[in-house]
Chains A and B, each alone.
Chain A
Amino acid sequence: MNFLSIFVLIPVLMMVGLFASNNRKQLLTVMTIGASLLMIMSATLTYMYLTERAAGNVAEMLFMADTVWYAPFNIHYSVGVDGISVAMLILSSIIVFTGVFASWKIDPLPKEFFLWFSLLSIGVYGFFITTDLFTMFMYYEIALIPMYLLIGIWGTGRKEYSAMKLTLMLMGGSALLLVGILGIYFSSGATTMNLLEIAKLHNIPVEMQRYFFPLTFMGFGVLGALFPFHTWSPDGHASAPTAVSMLHAGVLMKLGGYGAFRVAMYLMPEAAHEMAWIFLILTGISVVYGAFGAIHQTDLKYINAYSSVSHCGLVLFAILMMNETATTGAIMQMLSHGLMTALFFALIGMIYGRTHTRDIRLMGGLMKVLPFLGVSYVIAGMASLGLPSLSGFVAEMTIFVGSFQHTDTFHRVLTITAVSSIVITAVYILKVVGKIIFGPIQDKHHEELTDAVWYERVAVSVLIVAIFAMGSAPFWISSMIGESVIPVIGQLIK
């Protein structure tokens, strides 16, 4: 058995372990061990990957394996990773790990919660390691379905509505996606659904690409909060429990960007060239529109959801620039956004757990009573507005510089529009920080609040360390991603 499959196997074993557990302590033990193993696995994988690359292995994907899974349709279970998937696996492990700590006190039905949580992880990990289109789609669905229950049962506010809305919109996206994927397979003339093979053949007729590119791109785009299909995000996030928001914004939304790049752009480069301008405008709107939308919100989760629309818009925006630097920036932005938005949602959850409100008008001066959470919130905010030494800066700068290298004026003008988001982001971030973290205490009851406890500190610290690490030493991650982007870009400029 290929060792990449261990990433899927661990959550499966976690589920088995959860079934066997009887009380919260056992559940948490299983989850902690599983999540730690996943962390260790990703670290090992990163090490092995970099060693292999350093040894001069220039294959597009490493650690490949392939088994026929369903012969009639040539569906294979085939796995392999490149720098991009490794980066995404690291991200997933960090988020799953911290997610476990953030849901330490989940109530009611902890067992069921963690079961669905693990199932979701299976989908996420499977998606990132697989190279077969159909298997990829299957994992994608596995990741989406638990979301409905996780929000519907453990959520807050209008949870049934939000859960339904989120699931239906994402399902709508995946319907487009399924058509797109089948279209790709049948018009490519390939014998398998393997991405690499289809890309190598590179003979999907342009007129077919014109149909299937927009379907695939939009299908993935819905999950990547592409304007105007982003409205599931504010409601969904607002209702979701903390760990689910973290996992969803942190990892699941990345499935969209990853898929759009790996499937839509890679396999249909001609149509991508023809149609990029449409999506560039849409994503350009996302970037600015999301940021302006966030200014006006008063619910912390809404603010963060709109901010995600803006930041994820930047991911798709950069991918569409179709050059190495911008695309590297896009992947880095996925990583960076994943980390900081997970941190945000974790902190919002912890603040909500104490103040029982997420309305910024009802809070103030939390720094005084919750110094740890306050400082962490300021750090998260600074990462979000792109302070150097934190992850957001390196990602955004790579995107901006890369996008601006485009020879076409239209692209450069759009880039300047996107750059303006750094100011708007500063406005809404500082508005929130100035209101709830600084300033005088708003509510007398908040004076008795207690600061973060150990498991909360673990979750928050891990994320902050990751954000700092990426932001202060970006060179290795940037070069790891940069190398892996080349084959796809090569396909695009052929």
Chain B
Amino acid sequence: MQYTILILVLPLLSFIFLGLMDSKFKPKTAGLIGTIVLGIITALSYYTAFEYFTMYKVEGVYQKVIPFEMEWLRFTDLLSIKLGILIDAISVMMLVVISTVSFMVNLYSLSYMDGEKGFQRYYAFLSLFTFSMLGLVVATNIFQMYIFWELVGVSSFLLIGFYYSKPSAVAAAKKAFIVTRFADMFFLIGILVLSFYTKTFDFGVLTGENPIVFAAGAGATFMGFSVLSWAMALIFIGGAGKSAMFPLQIWLPDAMEGPTPVSALIHAATMVVAGVFLVARLFPVYYFQTPEVLHGIAYVGAFTALFAAVIACVQTDIKRVLAFSTISQIAFMMVALGVSGYEGHEGTGYMASMFHLFTHAMFKALLFLGAGSVIHAVHSNEMKDMGGLRKYMPITNWTFLIACLAIAGIPPFSGFFSKDEILAASFEFSPLIGWLMTFIAALTAFYMFRLYYNIFWGKDYAVKAAAHGHGHDDHGHGHTPHESPFAMAFPLVFLAAVTCVAGFIPFGEFVSATGADYHIHIDMKVAITSVVVALISISVATIMYRKPSTTPDKLAASFSGLFKAASNRFYIDEVYLFITRKIVFNSISRPIAWFDRHVIDATMDGFANTTQWVSIRIKSFQSGQIQQYAYVFLFGTLLIAALILIF
């Protein structure tokens, strides 16, 4: 499988090429180069998947293959960073997801970003992102993963801040980078601790059959937990930062400042699931060595899922609704991993998590691209500027509806199958988590249909625009919204098609914790409950939002406290602002700067001033006047003589 190296090399070359040539190309040329390269990568990924799943099964278990590995930086005899490619079930699955979504986004952007300044730069950054993300998922060791982890972070920074002269975009980019960097610091410390005890970075060794490497760290404890638990918890914090788990979720909603296709690619389908992938990659370590951390992950996930779903119910910016929905859905995947066992039926959670990752990537990318299509048409992100768009944009309407049904968990769409497995796994772990997740699933159905109705139904767009009597005409966009061109519509249709059929993929036969076959069977009790609950939620949303009505406002008024808190995202951002502004800037940084100037430097200046002062004082001793010298000489002689006489 030597050719897999091309999957990494091609996007890198494309980035370097487009980056250096920048404006020497016509925008269209740059876009086409980027898209064609992505097309090739997608084809290669599919071929890899095909070859892997047909040829690398030995005695019913999928093998790990390392077609390429080189030493990049040597630390000690035992520790060195290697760069390589690890092909196994989950990395192949991720290759397929990333390349597919990335290809669709590249294609979509040809039209969506048409005419934007910096179009070439945009494609260069997309290539950089694709390269980094692909490198992350095929990493053979945890340090390689960390390297690409940082690179996806910076690509995300560059793409969120694509409209760099817009202060809000710059602020969002900074926030995303610093928050995830803060989490990465814990990730790095976790790697340091883990490698100190295990003396390896290698995933193969860490997750291997015979985890003898953990013996050294087993006895050592720190504050009541084993050092291994600390290491794995710290590593999880890194994952939580990228995957926007509570309380590190604050950057993701702001990241929506980036161009919408970028949100679809990075902040919905690929980069934000890196944390889930990380936990899945290290799953055997979590499961066998530090089960308490794994359970912690389940609880963090469950709380985040609830928290984000509640907020999603009241947001009015359509991209933010989707952002919170993403947080909530990723949390579902985390929960699934957290509650999972390892072998056979016990491993449902693991399989379900990966399955949901796969289906979610497709339908969430679809939702974002659909939202982009809508934004493209009405030039606004706000729900109040939309309504009744189904008449003008039939393709977007239908594909969006399919995605909404999928995320709500209505069969036969893909989301139903994966979510059902997650719920089943949760119920097995604890009924409490199971019911909680079912409730969140209901919330999901509600807010998604609230979104759907607000965009495509409700009060007609034209009527609204006329009633507001402002905006669109002033900005020179005075036209009725119309369906997007082919380059934008095709990805929508393609992803919708995937969403319709993906649920029937026998996913368990490809991906499972052990690599052995896992037969999915739908737990009827759980399935029926969740579908019924979802249908009820959808009906409620239909009643409230299909036609213009006052019910939502009344509801908001009667729960005004909760409503206000949720609208303000429970003030978590304010807490962070307080910590950074008041504590870090004003209570640490400013005093240090003052201390440096007025204490340390003043001391140094003090030495100089003292020297100067002394020298001025004693300067008169060398006045050069003979009379004065003679006078002092005489006086001194007399004084000494007198002293001798006295004693």
How far apart sit A365 and B164, CA to CA, in the bound complex (Å)? 8
B170 touches A228 (CB 8 A): no
How far apart sit A389 and B155, CA to CA, in the bound complex (Å)? 13
Find A423's partner among B182, B592, B596 (CB 8 Å cutoff): B182
A426 touches B593 (CB 8 A): no
Among A234, A295, A426, A431, which residue has the most Cβ atoms of chain B within 10 A? Answer: A426
Q: Does chain A have a CB within 8 A of B171?
A: yes
Q: Of all chain A residues, which has the CB nearest B73?
A: A474
**Among B184-192, B420-428, B508-516, the stretch in contact with A:** B184-192
B181 touches A168 (CB 8 A): no
Interface size on B, residues (CB 8 A): 49
B589 touches A400 (CB 8 A): no
Q: Does chain A have a CB within 8 A of B413?
A: no
A325-B600 CB under 8 A given contacts A400-B192, A401-B192, A412-B196: no
B189 touches A292 (CB 8 A): no
Q: Does chain B have a CB within 8 A of A430?
A: yes
What would 11 A/B residue contacts be, using CB atoms closer than 8 Å? A324-B76, A389-B151, A397-B81, A398-B75, A401-B192, A404-B196, A423-B178, A430-B178, A434-B170, A440-B165, A440-B167
Interface residues of B in 341-387 (CB under 8 A from A): none
B615 → chain A closest CB, angstroms: 13
Q: Of all chain A residues, which has the CB nearest B585?
A: A295
Q: Does chain B have a CB within 8 A of A405?
A: yes
How far apart sit A482 and B79, CA to CA, in the bound complex (Å)? 14
Find A231's partner among B76, B178, B596 (CB 8 Å cutoff): B596
How far apart sit A438 and B189, CA to CA, in the bound complex (Å)? 31
A419 touches B189 (CB 8 A): yes
A426 touches B192 (CB 8 A): no
B72 touches A438 (CB 8 A): no
Q: Of all chain A residues, which has the CB nearest B596?
A: A293
Q: Does chain B have a CB within 8 A of A382?
A: yes
How far apart sit A427 and B76, CA to CA, in the bound complex (Å)? 31
How far apart sit A420 and B185, CA to CA, in the bound complex (Å)? 7
Q: Does chain A have a CB within 8 A of B608?
A: yes
What 9 pairs between A and B have smallest CB-CB spacing?
A296-B593, A231-B601, A438-B164, A388-B147, A295-B589, A404-B192, A438-B170, A296-B589, A426-B181
Q: Which residues of B contact A (CB under 8 A)?
A: 71-76, 79, 81, 143, 147-148, 150-151, 154, 161, 164-167, 170-171, 173-174, 177-178, 181-182, 184-185, 188-189, 192-193, 195-196, 584-585, 588-590, 592-593, 596, 600-601, 603-605, 608
Q: Of all chain B residues, which has the CB nearest A406?
A: B196
B592 touches A296 (CB 8 A): yes
Using Cβ atoms and an 8 Å threshold, which residues of chain A touch B171? 434
Q: Of all chain B residues, which has the CB nearest A368?
A: B165
Using Cβ atoms and an 8 Å threshold, which residues of chain A touch B178? 423, 426-427, 430
A478-B196 CB under 8 A given contacts A295-B589, A389-B151, A401-B79: no
A439 touches B164 (CB 8 A): yes
Which secondary structure characterizes the binding site on chain B?
helix
A423 touches B165 (CB 8 A): no
Q: Does chain B have a CB within 8 A of A149?
A: no
A387-B151 CB under 8 A given contacts A231-B601, A404-B196: yes
Find A289's partner among B164, B195, B592 (CB 8 Å cutoff): B592
A405-B196 CB under 8 A given contacts A289-B592, A292-B592, A295-B585: yes
Find B195's partner among A234, A401, A439, A440 (CB 8 Å cutoff): A401
Interface residues of A in 418-452 (CB under 8 A from B): 419-420, 422-423, 426-427, 430-431, 434, 437-441
A164 → chain B closest CB, angstroms: 8
Using Cβ atoms and an 8 Å threshold, which residues of chain A touch B596? 231, 234, 289, 293
Using Cβ atoms and an 8 Å threshold, which residues of chain B touch A431? 174
A475 touches B72 (CB 8 A): yes
How far apart sit A402 and B74, CA to CA, in the bound complex (Å)? 11
Q: Does chain B have a CB within 8 A of A165?
A: yes
Using Cβ atoms and an 8 Å threshold, which residues of chain B touch A355? none
Q: Does chain B have a CB within 8 A of A297?
A: yes
Using Cβ atoms and an 8 Å threshold, which residues of chain B touch A191? none
Q: Of all chain A residues, which has the CB nearest B148?
A: A388
How far apart sit A430 and B164, CA to CA, in the bound complex (Å)? 13
B165 touches A438 (CB 8 A): yes
Q: Does chain B have a CB within 8 A of A384?
A: no
Q: Does chain B have a CB within 8 A of A40?
A: no
Using Cβ atoms and an 8 Å threshold, which residues of chain A touch B173? 434, 438
How far apart sit A482 and B164, CA to CA, in the bound complex (Å)? 42
Known: A295-B585, A401-B192. 14 other contacts (CB 8 A): A228-B600, A289-B592, A292-B589, A397-B81, A401-B75, A404-B192, A404-B195, A416-B189, A420-B185, A423-B185, A427-B584, A430-B174, A430-B177, A438-B170
Among B75, B189, B600, which residue has the most Cβ atoms of chain A within 10 A? Answer: B75
Q: Does chain B have a CB within 8 A of A203?
A: no
Using Cβ atoms and an 8 Å threshold, which residues of chain B touch A229? 604
A426 touches B147 (CB 8 A): no
A439 touches B76 (CB 8 A): no
Interface residues of A in 162-177 (CB under 8 A from B): 164-165, 168-169
Q: Of all chain B residues, which has the CB nearest A169?
A: B604
How far apart sit A232 and B608, CA to CA, in the bound complex (Å)? 13
Among A168, A292, A482, which residue has the most Cβ atoms of chain B within 10 A? Answer: A292
B75 touches A165 (CB 8 A): no
Find A325's partner among B75, B170, B592 (CB 8 Å cutoff): B75
Using Cβ atoms and an 8 Å threshold, which residues of chain B touch A81? none
B121 → chain A closest CB, angstroms: 10
A292 touches B588 (CB 8 A): yes
How far apart sit A113 and B592, CA to CA, in the bound complex (Å)? 36
Interface residues of A in 117-164 (CB under 8 A from B): 164
A438 → chain B closest CB, angstroms: 4
How far apart sit A412 and B197, CA to CA, in the bound complex (Å)? 13
Q: Does chain B have a CB within 8 A of A92?
A: no
Using Cβ atoms and an 8 Å threshold, which residues of chain B touch A293? 589, 592-593, 596
A388 touches B150 (CB 8 A): yes
A400-B188 CB under 8 A given contacts A296-B590, A434-B171: yes
How far apart sit A164 and B609, CA to CA, in the bound complex (Å)? 12
B165 touches A365 (CB 8 A): yes
A399 → chain B closest CB, angstroms: 10
B189 → chain A closest CB, angstroms: 6
A47 → chain B closest CB, angstroms: 22
A419-B592 CB under 8 A given contacts A475-B71, A478-B74: no
Using Cβ atoms and an 8 Å threshold, which residues of chain A touch B154? 382, 387
How far apart sit A478 and B80, CA to CA, in the bound complex (Å)? 11
B589 touches A478 (CB 8 A): no
B76 touches A398 (CB 8 A): no
How far apart sit A439 and B170, CA to CA, in the bound complex (Å)? 7
Interface residues of A in 367-412 (CB under 8 A from B): 367-368, 382, 385-389, 393-394, 397-398, 400-402, 404-405, 412
Using Cβ atoms and an 8 Å threshold, which residues of chain B touch A415? 192
Find B150's partner among A169, A231, A387, A441 (CB 8 Å cutoff): A387
Using Cβ atoms and an 8 Å threshold, which residues of chain B touch A412? 196
A475 touches B188 (CB 8 A): no
Using Cβ atoms and an 8 Å threshold, which residues of chain A touch B196? 404-405, 412
